[in-house]
A = this chain, B = another copy of it.
Amino acid sequence: MRIEAADFFYLAMPEVTDEADGSQDALLVRVAAGGHVGWGECEAAPLPSIAAFVCPKSHGVCRPVGDSVLGKPLRDPSDIARMSAEVAYNSMDLLQAAHTWSGVEMALWDLLGRARGEPVWKMLGYDRSQPKTPYASVLFGDTPAETLGRARDIRTKKFRAAKFGWGPIGRGDAAQDAEHFSAAREGLGEDAILLVDTGQIFIDDVERAAQRLPALEQARATWFEEPFAASALASYGALAARSKHVKLAGGEGAHNVHMAKHLIDYGGVGFIQIDCGRIGGIGPSKEVADYAVARGVTFVNHTFTSHLALSASMQPFAGLGDHRICEFPAMPKPLALELSAAPQRAAGGACSHARHCCSASASVMPNVRSKLLA
């Protein structure tokens, strides 16, 4: 079969705020080939991403993504890999191309899975899908009291792990941040896994980031996520060398496999967090998962959008039993839930739909609401 169409659907909440909440809009992609359709999602700015698919070419290696996709054969996963390589080469000077291609690639796996009646993780080479431990992913409160409240709420919901991110961290001094870390630990209880995400706030300033290490150690945080800009490898490496117990985590900004591998090798992260909707889709994510296994680094999905993206992002490490933790957006906007007919659920400390999202379905996204098909 050949790829006949790729259509983009831009959805947004009525109001989009300045919160670091990626579930406020969504860019879905529907591909069609041989009587089948598949769905994917770009974790990306919708309009530039759509433009990168349809724009006129500027020259031979600044071509729109569509040039490497439309009309191309789709028989098996090797065709998806070939298109990935073609997009990387033909669109090397079109920066946004990686984000656009990510959603298309995801949709192609979905389509192939539907056509074959086979789960994506199986096509990726896994024998079975393993259960995961979802962590509730939320933002820090504006005050330590608010952070405490959110942590207690998460505990009530019986999550065994939680990640607090962004908010006021890094905008004041280290003592203020320490109060938030300790509030999060207090609210979650002693046994829960606590993860902290500072959203690149220290840019590349190793000293300022290092000032947060004692309080993170004190609160027994498992990881210190994105202290620096996605490309600031040397700063990651320097901070990793200064940390005793807290491991660094990062990788959501990787828009190709090299960036993720370098964050492991030069940046010294202990957790590599990959967003299928940015790195170029499911295939490149699986390549990073393989690399992480070989380097003794833990692979984790990065997902802060819809349950379509959540389902897709589980596939690349579905078969890795030791890479157990998974990101689960716990307070998404209604948009991110409502576009799926049957969102995944996490309850009782485990992802109740682990079988559903990682194993049972033949496709990445079997249940996009039919209203989107109109």
Which residues of chain A have a CB within 8 Å of any CB of chain B? 12, 16-22, 24-25, 43-52, 54-64, 85, 88-89, 92-96, 98-99, 199-200, 203-204, 229-234, 253, 255-256, 258-259, 261-262, 265-266, 278
Contact = CB atoms under 8 A, between A and B. Distances in A.
A180 to B, nearest CB: 18
Contacts of A204: 258
Contact of A17 (B50, B55, B60): B60
Contact of A95 (B56, B57, B59, B98): B98
Contacts of A19: 59-60
10 contacts: A12-B56, A16-B59, A17-B60, A22-B59, A43-B93, A45-B58, A51-B51, A88-B203, A229-B258, A262-B266
Given A45-B52, A231-B259, A60 B93 contact: no
Contacts of A56: 12, 16, 25, 46-47
A372 to B, nearest CB: 18
Contacts of A59: 16-22, 24-25
Contacts of A265: 234
Given A231-B256, A232-B258, A95 B92 contact: no
B61 A96 contact: no
A28 to B, nearest CB: 14
B46 A48 contact: no
A373 to B, nearest CB: 23
Nearest to A266: B266
A283 to B, nearest CB: 15
Contact of A51 (B16, B18, B47, B229): B47
Contacts of A262: 231, 233-234, 262, 266
A55 to B, nearest CB: 4
A85 B19 CA distance: 19
A55 B183 CA distance: 38
Contacts of A266: 233, 262, 266
A94 B12 CA distance: 16
A62 B22 CA distance: 8
A99 B95 contact: yes
Nearest to A233: B262
Contacts of A43: 93
A55 B45 contact: yes
